[in-house]
A = this chain, B = another copy of it.
């Protein structure tokens, strides 16, 4: 059974919705980061730690996708982040229309930085543009250093790869240079940062990247055309 025509129609409709989202985010000067990883790589924990650091400087919010439960949005609210949960009910990724429908609950447009925490999945979310400014791929030190080559779609499309749980490095068989080499092969402009939400290692660089990108976007939008 050839499902390719259906897939193409779905992706074309998604691209159109993503373009509309991107125009909205340009108009409001909102920077949008789409976080993608396996289940349990630490997306929610990272966002909690990020929110605590940026809290006084930037108006941030999160839209979180999961197949089931509202657990992640609840955790982010505890960390002080305005968070809205999308329960996909089986779908293995968010799409641009889901994001558009969730926007009114996120506090947008009065938000400078919008995190989208995608469904925990290294495969499906990589094909769906949400209208974000950039994708962030996370891989934890406990998952093994072979992941970029095994899941090339996401690591070639992500501007930033975060190696998470760097504090567990002494306890696992994980070679950072292998990950850096694989990511560079797939996307030579990608940034690779090492972070630990538990110890705080690397969070300054990560938050610096976010604020620099936000300033660049808001400066660009402010230029009269």
Which residues of chain A have a CB within 8 Å of any CB of chain B? 1, 3, 6, 9-10, 13, 38-40, 66-69, 71, 90, 92, 119-124, 139-140, 142-144, 146-147, 149-153, 165, 168, 171-172
Contact = CB atoms under 8 A, between A and B. Distances in A.
A32 to B, nearest CB: 23
Contacts of A150: 39, 66-69, 71, 120
Contacts of A3: 6, 10
Contact of A40 (B38, B71, B92, B152): B38
A1 B10 CA distance: 8
What DSSP secondary structure best describes chain A's contact surface? loop
Contacts of A38: 38-40, 120, 143
Nearest to A44: B144
Given A124-B124, A172-B168, A40 B143 contact: yes
Contacts of A147: 39-40
B67 A144 contact: no
Contacts of A144: 40
Nearest to A93: B123
A10 B2 CA distance: 10
